Amino acid sequence: MKILSNSERVIAAIDVMRIYKSIGWWEERREEEISLILQHGVYVGAWENDELVGFARAVTDGVFRAYIEDVIIHRSFQKEGFGKNLVAKLLEELSNIDIISLFCEEEYIPFYEHNDFKKMKSQFVMHKMNE
């Protein structure tokens, strides 16, 4: 397994879509949209031979803040430690950023706590949804 940043190896949108579909995420997203997000931010991929099996990305201003948006592992490769390595590589790529944030479901809190993330009781998640 190799974990590489977007500066080391380009990731194709179709490969990211395949992983999303393997875990039932974002089935409404189109290849063109995924291509657009791959033009911005920082991302890393996990490669088994020549197949993309994991993906993580962050949106960042490059100085003060970064927000981890997706951490996904193909269903066939889950529970093997690849997620931990993927997040570690992404955090390495973001090491110059002051604050790195993310949202996650409650069941994933222990995973992120092992990567030194902490819950903030003084902050609340708020969204504005454009429909």
What domain range is 82 assigned to?
2-103
In this prediction, residue 62 carries a pLDDT of 92
Classify residue 93 by burial, with Cβ atoms within 10 Å: 0-12, 13-18, 19+: buried
Q: Would you say residue 50 lies in a domain?
A: yes
Contacts (Cβ under 8 Å, ≥6 apart) of 58: 41, 42, 43, 66, 67, 68, 69, 90, 93, 94, 100
Q: How many domains does the structure of the chain reveal? A: 1
CATH of the domain at 91: 3.40.630.30
In this prediction, residue 22 carries a pLDDT of 87
Q: Would you say residue 7 lies in a domain?
A: yes
Q: Would you say residue 56 lies in a domain?
A: yes
Segment-wise mean pLDDT, segments of 10 residues, the chain, 131 residues: 91 93 84 91 93 94 93 88 90 94 88 87 79 75
In this prediction, residue 77 carries a pLDDT of 86
Q: Would you say residue 121 lies in a domain?
A: no
In this prediction, residue 13 carries a pLDDT of 94
Q: Would you say residue 79 lies in a domain?
A: yes
Q: Would you say residue 59 lies in a domain?
A: yes
For residue 15 the two structure tokens come to: 């490969």
Q: Would you say residue 95 lies in a domain?
A: yes
* Whole-angstrom distance, CA of residue 5 vs CA of residue 56: 9
Q: Would you say residue 82 lies in a domain?
A: yes
In this prediction, residue 40 carries a pLDDT of 87
In this prediction, residue 114 carries a pLDDT of 87
